[in-house]
């Protein structure tokens, strides 16, 4: 069912043992970062501010020299090549369009090796792809942030790079525009066969457009996998709480089952002994029950669903219910976990 996210077979980029310690930094900004990327694959580097995402991307782009490690593109070692010799495309936060050139000239810029007519035809084709036909003669300052972003993307994709690096490329867009543009970008990259690495601290964005997500914490990649793998089977409390919300429970595991105060539950993967468990708020059922051991202490209506905070003894659990559930604050309830739970390291 998740076929469109199938792992590509041919490796495009191989990153191994990357390390970067800046002169005045207490700890390395990036340490032992390694992953591979398939041709045409979209990878999100996801993590909180300062975890090393941008530094990793800049080393891949050639804007920063790693202290250790290697980067190879289609089998060729590019670790120490300057950016312009790598054949990689970039779309950065500020877009870096040339203010004195119009839209068409901005896109044609990377196509200088082609004849003028050829370059112009290609640039027009790319602008049509990003939905900007008709705006060829505008200057960057006459465009909205979203349009500028698409010009930058058209300029990058015009040269059909095998890999496009993107650092928070949607940060200047409003919420609705962001959702639309990120899907467009995904489609454009897929249709041109380019792979992409996207730096973001927005978990929803990573889940929405990446084929795989590498979650970073304090300079390291702590988990890498498809969005559903990472969401449904986070390895640690950090990953579980960074991607969505999680309740953490204690339990005693025995293979694929775990004993908890909610009874014996199935595990998402095998574990043994005392474990912490992650339970997503949508995996818990809330049943009104005058005799129930828990009570609703908070509620937030969000349109498509509702959040409930439920106190049971010392423990406060977060539960997500459908928009139709109508349980008042103070009501007695019973909680039931209706899915497998995740053992954390």
Which CB atom, from 106 or from 149, has the smaller least distance to ligand ATP? 149
Pick from 37, 54, 243, 299: which binds ligand ATP (CB under 6 A)? 54
> Shortest approach of ligand ATP to residue 185 CB, angstroms?
19
Q: Which alpha helices (H) appear in the chain, and where do they start and end?
A: 53-61, 103-108, 116-129, 145-158, 175-192, 203-209, 227-232, 237-242
Which CB atom, from 217 or from 282, has the smaller least distance to ligand ATP? 217
Which CB atom, from 10 or from 24, has the smaller least distance to ligand ATP? 24
> Shortest approach of ligand ATP to residue 25 CB, angstroms?
5
Which CB atom, from 17 or from 50, has the smaller least distance to ligand ATP? 50
- The answer to whether 51 contacts ligand ATP (rule: CB under 6 A) is yes
Pick from 15, 53, 173, 267: which binds ligand ATP (CB under 6 A)? 53
Q: What is the dihedral of CA 218, 8, 10, 209, to 10 degrees?
A: -50
Question: Residue 116 in contact with residue 91, Cβ under 8 Å?
Answer: no
Stretch that binds ligand ATP, among 43-51, 205-213, 222-230, 255-263 (CB under 6 A): 43-51
Q: Is the dihedral of CA 323, 329, 333, 338 positive or negative?
A: positive
> Shortest approach of ligand ATP to residue 111 CB, angstroms?
31
Tokens 């209706």, residue located: 338
Q: How far apart are CA 296 and CA 141, in angstroms?
A: 52
SS3 at position 108: helix
Pick from 2, 6, 17, 50: which binds ligand ATP (CB under 6 A)? 50
Tokens 């990689």, residue located: 88
- Between the alpha carbon of residue 250 and those of residues 258, 261, 273, the distances in Å are 9, 8, 11
Tokens of 247: 């309740």
Question: Residue 20 in contact with residue 190, Cβ under 8 Å?
Answer: no
Q: How far apart are CA 75 and CA 274, in angstroms?
A: 44
> Shortest approach of ligand ATP to residue 242 CB, angstroms?
12
Pick from 38, 47, 234, 251: which binds ligand ATP (CB under 6 A)? 47
Which CB atom, from 38 or from 52, has the smaller least distance to ligand ATP? 52
Question: Residue 55 in contact with residue 23, Cβ under 8 Å?
Answer: no
> Shortest approach of ligand ATP to residue 62 CB, angstroms?
15
Pick from 201, 212, 280, 299: which binds ligand ATP (CB under 6 A)? 201
Binding-site string for ligand ATP from residue 145 to residue 184, where x marks contact by CB under 6 A and - marks none = ----------------------------------------
Binding-site string for ligand ATP from residue 4 to residue 33, where x marks contact by CB under 6 A and - marks none = ------------------x-xx---x----
Which CB atom, from 27 or from 338, has the smaller least distance to ligand ATP? 27
- Residue 28's φ and ψ, nearest 5 degrees, are -60, 140
Pick from 44, 55, 126, 203: which binds ligand ATP (CB under 6 A)? 55
CA neighbor of 333 nearest in space, from 302, 307, 310, 306: 310
> Shortest approach of ligand ATP to residue 134 CB, angstroms?
35
> Shortest approach of ligand ATP to residue 342 CB, angstroms?
25
What is the side-by-side strand order in the sheet with 163-167?
89-91, 163-167, 195-200, 42-46, 212-217, 220-225
Size of the site for ligand ATP (CB under 6 A): 13
- Binding residues for ligand ATP, rule: CB under 6 A, are 22, 24-25, 29, 47, 49-55, 201
């Amino acid at each position: 069912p998740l076929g469109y996210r199938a792992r590509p077979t041919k490796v495009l980029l191989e990153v191994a043992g990357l390390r970067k310690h800046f002169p005045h930094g207490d700890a390395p900004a990036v340490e032992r970062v390694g992953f591979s990327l398939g041709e045409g694959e979209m990878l999100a580097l996801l993590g909180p501010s300062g975890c090393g995402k941008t530094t990793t991307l800049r080393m891949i782009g050639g804007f920063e020299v790693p202290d250790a490690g290697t980067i190879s593109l289609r089998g060729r070692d590019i670790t120490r090549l300057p950016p312009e010799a790598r054949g990689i495309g970039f779309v950065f936060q500020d877009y870096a369009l040339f203010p004195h050139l119009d839209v068409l000239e901005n896109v044609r810029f990377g196509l200088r090796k082609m004849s003028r007519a050829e370059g112009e035809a290609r640039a027009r084709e790319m602008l049509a792809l990003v939905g900007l036909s008709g705006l060829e003669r505008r200057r960057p300052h006459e465009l909205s942030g979203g349009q500028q972003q698409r010009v930058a993307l058209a300029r990058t994709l015009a040269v059909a790079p095998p890999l496009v690096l993107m650092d928070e490329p949607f940060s200047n867009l409003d919420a609705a525009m962001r959702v639309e543009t990120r899907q467009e970008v995904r489609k454009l990259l897929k249709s041109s066969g380019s792979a992409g690495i996207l730096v973001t601290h927005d978990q929803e964005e990573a889940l929405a457009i990446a084929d795989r997500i590498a979650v970073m914490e304090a300079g390291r990649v702590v988990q890498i996998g498809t969005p559903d793998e990472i969401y449904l089977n986070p390895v640690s409390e950090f990953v579980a709480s960074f991607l969505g919300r999680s309740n953490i429970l204690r339990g005693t595991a025995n293979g694929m089952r775990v004993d908890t105060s909610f009874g014996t539950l199935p595990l998402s993967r095998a574990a043994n002994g005392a474990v912490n468990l992650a339970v997503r708020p949508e995996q818990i059922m809330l049943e009104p029950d005058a005799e129930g051991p828990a009570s609703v202490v908070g509620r937030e209506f969000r349109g498509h669903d509702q959040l409930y905070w439920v106190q049971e003894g010392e423990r406060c659990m977060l539960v997500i219910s459908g928009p139709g559930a109508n349980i008042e604050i103070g009501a007695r309830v019973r909680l039931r976990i209706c899915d497998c739970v995740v053992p954390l390291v």
